[in-house]
Amino acid sequence: MHGLLVLLRRLSWPYIVLLTAVNLYFYNYARIASLGHPDPQIEGDAKLKRQPRFGRYDLFANDIYIHHVYKSTIEAFNPHYAVTMGDIFSSQWVNTREYYKRIHRFKWISHQIDSNNSTIQGNHIYYFLAGNHDIGYGEETKKYHITRYLNNFGQLNHKWYFDFERVSNVHTDMPGIHKVAILNAMNLDATRNDEYRRQVWGFVRDLATERAKHSEIPFILFLHIPLNKPAGVCEPSPVTKLKDGFIAYQDYLSPATSAFLLHCLRPTIILNGHDHNGCLATHFVINTTHSQIHLGDSGRSLQSSDDLCTMTLEELDMHRSEIEVFAESTVSTSGSSNITTADHLWSTIEITARSTMGAYGGVTGIFDIRRDHALDRDKTFHLRDKREMSASAKGYQYQYREVALGHHIAIRVLLITDIVSAVIVPALLLLVK
């Protein structure tokens, strides 16, 4: 038994060093646009009630594990942005006292404060997306969910221009500029409180107006819930559950909402979370259908992107079935690799990052942008194993890769073995002597 422990101890640190070296080898860019940390789902009092003894150890180990995920990737890659992709906590229903306890833990976990509660200075900016475990789905979003999120994590909807060549947030058109937006996906579809839904759709309308004027500017869109896809492209098949006509659960945004975002915002890259397994997909969009789709008795028809983008929210809700037909004839989605999109009016890469939770390997999504004037203006993609992507468009090169710390059980076994073999076994041998 002693020999086995010694062997495992000898393997533990080489394993960790090798894991780090392999991950860094595949992503050796000096400047990283963004790190994505999806769905950490920090637990708390509920686990302690279910598992009084083991739960305390589990929370302690998980905090250290996810803290290492944040800290190691932020320090290694020195990103412009560190984005937590939603589902920061495990439940939106925690009481106020527990909520602020978890916020304090999360600030340390996400490398915002140190063990002395001092703010850690860095060159990166933190951004956060609201997930269903933060403010709830449309059926359950309450005012206090929204209020405490805004007070602690910032705006639900946010947009800015980013000049990665000058490493600054800017508000003018210049070389290297990208438009970036964070979108509250939780209230895009049927929401019980109409105020929250109108707020996010007002924001989307503003974005659509800007995109119509400046569609040549590359656009990066962050949102928690992925866009609609056919079964088989990603692991979950599309499932939506309603309660009283409002969203109680959804794997993907509705087909009508997804079609609006693709046709009217024309994002270059979409990054999201929610699906813990992760996925890479491409959406190909053409501008018009071959035949008009009549919108009931309104006298209007739907045949082009312009027709869709001028519809009011009420019209979008009223004619969802017609919009789905329009989407089926104008949007195709694939997980295929090595694709050139010269024959399509528009195309979008959608990156759904795998969860940061230990059960999924402690993943960080690394997203990078480089300028390359030699690149063809047609957009090209290369997707590999749904874990890595490279693309080029309009003189820019985009790359995405997952960096995984390792399954939390394996990490725990190696570290516990190291402690046992280094401390406990020698102590026992001394007692025997």
pLDDT digits (tens, 9 = 90+) for 26-37: 444 434 578 888
* pLDDT class of 428 with cuts at 50, 70, 90: low
* pLDDT class of 5 with cuts at 50, 70, 90: very low
Quick one: pLDDT at residue 315? 93
Of 281, 283, 282, 288, which is closest to residue 329 (Cα–Cα)? 288
Mapping DSSP to helix (H, G, I), strand (E, B) and coil, where does residue 199 land?
A: helix
Residues 266 and 349: beta-carbon distance below 8 Å: no
* pLDDT class of 276 with cuts at 50, 70, 90: confident
More confident: 177 or 144: 144
DSSP 119: B
pLDDT digits (tens, 9 = 90+) for 199-247: 999 999 999 999 999 988 899 999 999 999 988 888 767 889 999 999 9
Of 1, 5, 2, 4, which is closest to residue 416 (Cα–Cα)? 5
| Pairing assessment for the beta strands 269-272 and 219-223 based on DSSP bridges | parallel
Mapping DSSP to helix (H, G, I), strand (E, B) and coil, where does residue 168 land?
A: strand
Q: How far apart are CA 376 and CA 83, in angstroms?
A: 30
In the chain, the percentage of residues whose pLDDT exceeds 70 is 77
* pLDDT class of 403 with cuts at 50, 70, 90: confident
Question: What residue type is 100 in one-letter code?
Answer: Y
Mapping DSSP to helix (H, G, I), strand (E, B) and coil, where does residue 64 land?
A: helix
Quick one: pLDDT at residue 231? 86
pLDDT digits (tens, 9 = 90+) for 114-131: 988 899 988 889 999 999
Matching residue, tokens 């040549």: 216
* pLDDT class of 101 with cuts at 50, 70, 90: very high
* pLDDT class of 385 with cuts at 50, 70, 90: low
Quick one: pLDDT at residue 383? 57
Quick one: pLDDT at residue 358? 79
Radius of gyration of the chain (CA): 23
Query: Which of 127-136, 160-169, 379-388, 394-403 is predicted least confidently?
Result: 379-388
Alpha-carbon separation of residue 411 from 5, 166, 362 (angstroms): 15, 39, 10
Q: Which residues pair with 281 in a beta bridge?
A: 350
Residue 264 has pLDDT above 80, yes or no: yes
More confident: 221 or 278: 221
Angle (CA) 200-368-385 rounded to 5° is 90
Polymer length in residues for the chain: 433
More confident: 208 or 418: 208
Q: Which residues pair with 333 in a beta bridge?
A: 283
Of 134, 275, 135, which is closest to residue 197 (Cα–Cα)? 135
- Both tokens of residue 419? 């402690």
Q: Report the run of H or E that residue 158 belongs to, with start and end.
A: strand 158-163
Residue range 152-157: average pLDDT? 96
- Both tokens of residue 238? 């599309």
pLDDT digits (tens, 9 = 90+) for 78-93: 888 999 999 999 888 9
Number of continuous H segments (helices) and E segments (strands) in the chain: 13, 20
- Both tokens of residue 75? 């320090």
Average pLDDT, the chain: 81
Residue range 348-357: average pLDDT? 90
DSSP string, 342-356: TTSSEEEEEEEPPP-
Residue range 274-286: average pLDDT? 88
Quick one: pLDDT at residue 378? 53
DSSP 184: -
Residue range 299-317: average pLDDT? 91
Alpha-carbon separation of residue 118 from 44, 115, 154, 273, 323 (angstroms): 23, 7, 20, 30, 51
